[in-house]
Structure formats: structure tokens, C-alpha cells
């Protein structure tokens, strides 16, 4: 990031969760961050079994509630420096 700020490089392309927001803030860099090129999905894997059906339902319900009340957006802002739930890939159909 510092090399971009210093003009050594024109751009950097990488995953958004490298902590660049903290680096930019900490070093006081004047770097522009456009919207992401691609936003991938984050998934949770739970072993498919009869015993875990209730767990899957409870996890889905809890995540739905956290999204609806804005808690997931708040957590995203705190740890990623932006609301990653604003992007279409995170919208539940």
C-alpha cells in the first residue's frame, strides 16, 4: 500500500480481507479503494446427517435474524471496515 501511495506502483489487486483499511488508516495513506471487482461467497459446512438437521435450521435462523437486525453489518464494519452485506452475492433469495 505504501508503494502505491509513494507512486512506485499504480495499483494493487488482492483480497479485501488483508487488513488494508487498517494499514491505510495507520499510515495515513491517500489511497482510493473502488468497489470490489468480485465478491465471493462465504459458506459454512455442516455434516449432513439426521442429527444435524435441527442444527442447520437453527444456524440458518440465527444468521437470518442477525442479518435482519443489522448485527452482521455491524460486525462486518468493525472487522472489515465496510459492510460486506451490501453486495448482491450476500443477498438471500
Q: What is the pTM of this model?
A: 0.60
Q: Which stretch of 59-63, 69-73, 74-78, 82-86 has the lowest confidence by average pLDDT? A: 82-86
Per-residue pLDDT, 17: 67
What residues make up the domain containing 4? 1-34
Kindly report, residue by residue over 2-56, the tens digit of the pLDDT. 888 888 888 887 776 677 777 888 888 888 777 777 777 778 889 999 999 999 9
More confident residue, 33 or 83: 83
Residues 73 and 53 in one domain: yes
Residues 29 and 44 in one domain: no
Per-residue pLDDT, 4: 83
Residue 34 gets the label, from left (phi > 0), alpha (psi -120 to 50) or beta, of beta
Residues 48 and 91 in one domain: yes
Amino acid at each position: 500500500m505504501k508503494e502505491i501511495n509513494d507512486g512506485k506502483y499504480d495499483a494493487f489487486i488482492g483480497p479485501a480481507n488483508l487488513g488494508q483499511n487498517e494499514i491505510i488508516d495507520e499510515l495515513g495513506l491517500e489511497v482510493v479503494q473502488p468497489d470490489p471487482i468480485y465478491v465471493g461467497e462465504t459458506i459454512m459446512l455442516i455434516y449432513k446427517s439426521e442429527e444435524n438437521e435441527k442444527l442447520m435450521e437453527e444456524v440458518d435462523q440465527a444468521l437470518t435474524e442477525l442479518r435482519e437486525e443489522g448485527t452482521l453489518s455491524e460486525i462486518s464494519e468493525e472487522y472489515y471496515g465496510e459492510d460486506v452485506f451490501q453486495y448482491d452475492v450476500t443477498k438471500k433469495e
